[in-house]
Structure 1
Amino acid sequence: MESEGDDVELADTLEENGNQQNSNPNPQEQELRKVGYGIFEQMCETEQLEFLRVILESLNQQQLVKAETMICSLLQKDFISLLPAIGLEDIAAEILTYLDSKSLCAAELVSRQWKGLISDSKLWKKQLEQKVKTDRIWKGLLERRGWMHVIWQTETENPVLNSEFYRNLFPRVYIHVKKLKQNWINEEPTYKIINCNTNGESKGVYCLQYDNSKIISGHRDNTIKVWDTKSLECKQTLTGHTGSILSLQYEDNVLVTGSSDATVRIWDLSTSSIVTVLNYHTDPVLHVRFIGAILISSSKDQKIAVWSINRKSLTASLQTALIGHRAAVNAVEFDETFIVSASGDRTIKIWNAKTCEFVKTLKGHTRGVACIHYRGSLIVSGSSDHTIRLWDVDSGVCLRVLEGHNELVRCIRFDERKIISGAYDGRIKIWDLQGALNPRVSGNVLCLRTLWKHTGRVFRLDFDEFQIMSSSHDDLIIIWDFDVQGNPLEEVHEAIENLNDKMICE
């Protein structure tokens, strides 16, 4: 219930903005009004609201507009400024932490009190901390620029790191992030090339994986090579397979490889040694994947083997085999829900990951399916029919067909925004994933760009927020870097610049 003073103020205001002829009532009218106010004050809340409704219904349009303005003015309460005045500054600051950067930028313009609260509470520093925790691009860019350490330092540790520092650092990073996203579409990437220099006719890099410190590649000459990410020098060559290395995956010190010698091998990277050799397949092992204690391999022998792997002893035992394809199983992906396999028989099959029971077959490609990437509710596949297809996992419906490659699509990966494909035509293409999922977007605009530097078939690729790494029959590993150019931050205080607020609010 509103206070009595507010009720009287509203009544007085309505009166003052009413008929100007009654702006100076005589003593008798004043007495009548006092009696009316007294009666109104004695009413319960429901009766007061009903009384006001009747009065409002009797007003003309002009009076209603004025009444609305007065009511809105009475309802406006700057609680953000009021809370610090009663010792609740922390609560006011906590409320403002829920604003995104655009809203926080606008909040600074509300009043000096709001801007002071934002500054004193170091909310721009908290914005940066939140971005680092939730956005891979922001985190990666801060690491690349050498800015990460300032996010977690305090002003006590470094006096330069005051509120104004973070207020100016945020738009600086924002601009770099925006430029990086634009570079994937508009700018020519820089190139770093590893020439593997394989002798004789055994040239070709069939598979690779990388992280911030190393690249591990599998080669046609039966070797596995470990490269330093920064120097691009080969630090180690692992031998043991008697056939080409067709697939690999590593995590921490565990490396699993599949080879044309029909074996799966488990390596300890800390000792660079083979711990276990798995013999089940009778033809080349075309793909291996492991998550946790489950390892899955697929082969030219048309079978998919499901293994239980002990991550400590690096041993494994066969649990079951999935049989159903009528040609080589070229690729396999899985998570805790489904196992998804792609085959030369032109189909994609989905299996229950827990029971290993067959679920459904996806048909649509007119030739063999060479590669897949499966995540969440989406499967993206590439085929020797030169096309890429997007599939809904639950319904099995083909959502889109992408055309543009001139030969077999050998490798495919996607993230939240884009699909990247590599093919035997030597091209790497970047596609708009969100556009591809929108049936109203024309297929003619979905290929954002084509990269062409390999002189042979593209066998494998992977990418992150900054770069693509690809390998080819030409014996090259190419790193395509889309990061914004510029000198790394040598002195952190250079981030304090007079940047226009529009850089954030645009």
Structure 2
Amino acid sequence: MPLTLPSFHSMQHQQDFFCLSPSDSTMTENDFFKIRPYHNTKKQMPVLAKSRRGMRPMRSSTTSTASQKNRKLRYYSTLPVSKPAITMNHSFHQQGPKKDFISLLPYEVASQIVSYLDLSSLCQASTVSRSWYSISRSNEIWRHLASRWSLNIPQHIYPHQLDWYHLYKQRHILNNRWENGRVATHYLMGHIDSVYCLQFDKQKIITGSRDRTIKFWDLSTYQCVQTLYGHEGSVLCLSYNDHIMVSGSSDTTLIVWNMKTLQPIMRLRGHSAGVLDVCFDDRFIISCSKDKTIRIWDINNGRLLRTIFAHQGPVNAIQLQGNKLVSASGDALIKMWDIMTGECLHKYAGHTRGLACVRYDGTKIVSGSNDKTIKVWDAESGYCLMSCEGHTDLVRTLSFDKDRIVSASYDQSIRVWDIKTGACLLNFQSGHTSWVFDVHFDSTRIVSASQDQRVLVMDFTTGLDTQFL
């Protein structure tokens, strides 16, 4: 069912030293890690019944006097030995005090035992007593649970310095929001025409538009902080790192910008039609064009090193990994190239109409097409691993990581797919009011650009500590 984009309200601050409530595998953000004060639940002694007029207080039926017990025991002890043994009622046994074996063990041993519990059982264990709560909050236990996730922890921070329970809690809530599509939405308004391309990091978003400008947006305030002018046509593509940014335009040129001064370094000329996509590493800038070619430039001086006449149609998208470049074209083919020799290494045929986008991570290729499908390919064998169907118009843009694919289409929707099964997990249909041209995501947000002149930020982290997410 299509998902709308509700605003998500941050959770209220909660005290630290409390027990975790029991939960199960379907727990939501509101009931998982719900905090409640620990209460002592020692077994209460039997309570005397209320007095009745003219009578002494009656004892609870669950108790018996010592003399009654002794009489019963003497009776059973006189039975003939030849008779079958009679099982005594449980209430007649003299029971010793129950012992909490976990609390009696050394802390390290108890923590090792508790570490084998699943998440739901671990949360239940924390409600047993103060000692169980302390053991269940062991830093090593939560570090082990969090090890299945990729966390952005700087190398200078040692594992024992972190509160792993806190990190696990933040990441678990974040995953729950991804599963349920719970986001806070923000629109960046400032471009006066279609927004064709974008890239972002934890501090900023950079966008390129048909209005011929490149804008820098502060992610903490969602405000435009800088506008660059330089191209004489639409800014169709851009890519940046800490040092430079390269932008491509319908004016057939590329501009290399200094990211410190935000001034142009050089302009690259050579394409005979609009530059549709660009990528670079520390050696080369690589661009593709509507003129059906791929051009490789020296990143230091801008000299044209090689021109590859790549496809029979416009080369709409490229992706570089090492010396291998993957390209996608309107001729419905994907090709892999050796950029050092210009040799075509592989062809990937399977789409029935032209391709609009492609991504490559070194082992997998993911492509989107005008045939309304997304295909996942094994890069080495060329085998199509799966096809994702659901979009109702051209799949214009996509990104992926090891868990999911995020795609956007001319059908105005943004969809999230399971990269292992091809299942559509989320379908956001109310974010844009026109064609979606570009989409990127990380573990915390999805950012998209559209013909409706807006940039949409869907933030999954409202109220969370995102320092290491």
TM bracket, shorter-chain basis: 0.5 to 0.7
Which structure has greater helix proportion? 1
Matched residue type, 1:332:
I
Contact 2:170 2:464 in 1 (8 A): no
Once the two structures are TM-superposed, the CA of residue 253 in structure 1 deviates from its matched residue by: 2.8
Structure 1 residue corresponding to 2:328, chosen from 328, 342, 346: 342
| Runs (4+) off by over 2 Å | 99-107, 122-132, 148-154, 169-173, 353-356, 485-489
1:280 maps to what in 2?
270
Provide the secondary structure at the position in 2 that maps to 1:366.
coil
1:204-223, Cα deviation, whole Å (9 max, x unpaired) = 11001111221110010111
Contact 2:191 2:209 in 1 (8 A): no
Contact 2:146 2:168 in 1 (8 A): no
2:260 maps to what in 1?
270
1:414 maps to what in 2?
400
Q: CA 1:103/1:357 → structure 2, altered by over 3 Å: closer, same or farther?
A: farther
2:93 maps to what in 1?
none
Provide the secondary structure at the position in 2 that maps to 1:421.
strand
1:52 maps to what in 2?
none
Provide the rounded CA distance (Å) in 2 between the counterparts of 1:394 and 1:152: 37
1:377 maps to what in 2?
363
2:82 maps to what in 1?
none
Once the two structures are TM-superposed, the CA of residue 104 in structure 1 deviates from its matched residue by: 12
Provide the rounded CA distance (Å) in 2 between the counterparts of 1:374 and 1:101: 38
Provide the rounded CA distance (Å) in 1 between the counterparts of 2:424 and 2:187: 25
Provide the rounded CA distance (Å) in 2 between the counterparts of 1:130 and 1:139: 16
Structure 2 residue corresponding to 1:434, chosen from 394, 400, 420: 420
1:478 maps to what in 2?
456
Provide the rounded CA distance (Å) in 2 between the counterparts of 1:383 and 1:467: 24
Contact 1:407 1:423 in 2 (8 A): yes
Q: Quick check: 1:305 aligned with 2:283?
A: no
Matched residue type, 1:472:
S
2:424 maps to what in 1?
447
Provide the rounded CA distance (Å) in 2 between the counterparts of 1:224 and 1:100: 54
Matched residue type, 2:247:
T
Contact 1:131 1:139 in 2 (8 A): no
Provide the rounded CA distance (Å) in 1 between the counterparts of 2:333 and 2:274: 20
Provide the rounded CA distance (Å) in 1 between the counterparts of 2:172 and 2:145: 17
Q: CA 1:238/1:400 → structure 2, altered by over 3 Å: closer, same or farther?
A: same
Provide the rounded CA distance (Å) in 2 between the counterparts of 1:216 and 1:456: 20
Provide the rounded CA distance (Å) in 1 between the counterparts of 2:343 and 2:115: 48
1:436-460, Cα deviation, whole Å (9 max, x unpaired) = 3xxxxxxxxx011101210011100
Once the two structures are TM-superposed, the CA of residue 102 in structure 1 deviates from its matched residue by: 4.8
Q: Quick check: 1:183 aligned with 2:177?
A: yes
Once the two structures are TM-superposed, the CA of residue 186 in structure 1 deviates from its matched residue by: 1.2
2:167 maps to what in 1?
173
1:69-92, Cα deviation, whole Å (9 max, x unpaired) = xxxxxxxxxxxxxxx9xxxxxxx9
Contact 2:295 2:304 in 1 (8 A): yes
Once the two structures are TM-superposed, the CA of residue 151 in structure 1 deviates from its matched residue by: 6.6
Contact 1:335 1:353 in 2 (8 A): no
2:441 maps to what in 1?
463
Q: CA 1:150/1:254 → structure 2, altered by over 3 Å: closer, same or farther?
A: closer
Contact 2:245 2:257 in 1 (8 A): yes
2:206 maps to what in 1?
216
Provide the rounded CA distance (Å) in 2 between the counterparts of 1:350 and 1:416: 21
Q: CA 1:149/1:475 → structure 2, altered by over 3 Å: closer, same or farther?
A: farther
Provide the rounded CA distance (Å) in 1 between the counterparts of 2:141 and 2:267: 50
Matched residue type, 1:349:
K
Once the two structures are TM-superposed, the CA of residue 185 in structure 1 deviates from its matched residue by: 2.0
Contact 2:198 2:206 in 1 (8 A): yes
Provide the secondary structure at the position in 2 that maps to 1:434.
coil
Provide the secondary structure at the position in 1 that maps to 2:357.
strand
Contact 1:125 1:151 in 2 (8 A): no
1:96-115, Cα deviation, whole Å (9 max, x unpaired) = 99x996589999x9xxxxx9
Contact 2:139 2:165 in 1 (8 A): no
Provide the rounded CA distance (Å) in 2 between the counterparts of 1:293 and 1:150: 32
Q: Quick check: 1:139 aligned with 2:135?
A: no
Provide the rounded CA distance (Å) in 2 between the counterparts of 1:187 and 1:287: 30
Q: CA 1:124/1:276 → structure 2, altered by over 3 Å: closer, same or farther?
A: same
Provide the rounded CA distance (Å) in 2 between the counterparts of 1:176 and 1:250: 30
Once the two structures are TM-superposed, the CA of residue 234 in structure 1 deviates from its matched residue by: 1.0
Q: List runs of 5+ in structure 2 lacking aligned partners.
A: 1-105, 126-130
Provide the secondary structure at the position in 2 that maps to 1:316.
coil
Provide the rounded CA distance (Å) in 2 between the counterparts of 1:151 and 1:360: 44
1:285-300 equivalence runs, <5 A:
285-300=275-290
Provide the secondary structure at the position in 2 that maps to 1:172.
helix
1:272-325, Cα deviation, whole Å (9 max, x unpaired) = 211111001000000000112121100000000011212xxxx32111111130
Matched residue type, 1:361:
K
Contact 1:350 1:360 in 2 (8 A): yes
1:215-266, Cα deviation, whole Å (9 max, x unpaired) = 1100101110111111111111100100000000010030100000000110
Provide the rounded CA distance (Å) in 1 between the counterparts of 2:117 and 2:280: 43
- Identity over aligned pairs, percent: 37
Q: TM-score, normalised by structure 2?
A: 0.67
Provide the rounded CA distance (Å) in 1 between the counterparts of 2:464 and 2:344: 54
Q: CA 1:487/1:239 → structure 2, altered by over 3 Å: closer, same or farther?
A: closer
1:475-500, Cα deviation, whole Å (9 max, x unpaired) = 111111122x54769xxxxxxxxxxx
Contact 2:376 2:385 in 1 (8 A): yes
Q: CA 1:307/1:135 → structure 2, altered by over 3 Å: closer, same or farther?
A: farther
Q: Quick check: 1:423 aligned with 2:423?
A: no
Matched residue type, 1:447:
C
Q: CA 1:389/1:126 → structure 2, altered by over 3 Å: closer, same or farther?
A: same
Provide the rounded CA distance (Å) in 2 between the counterparts of 1:388 and 1:150: 40
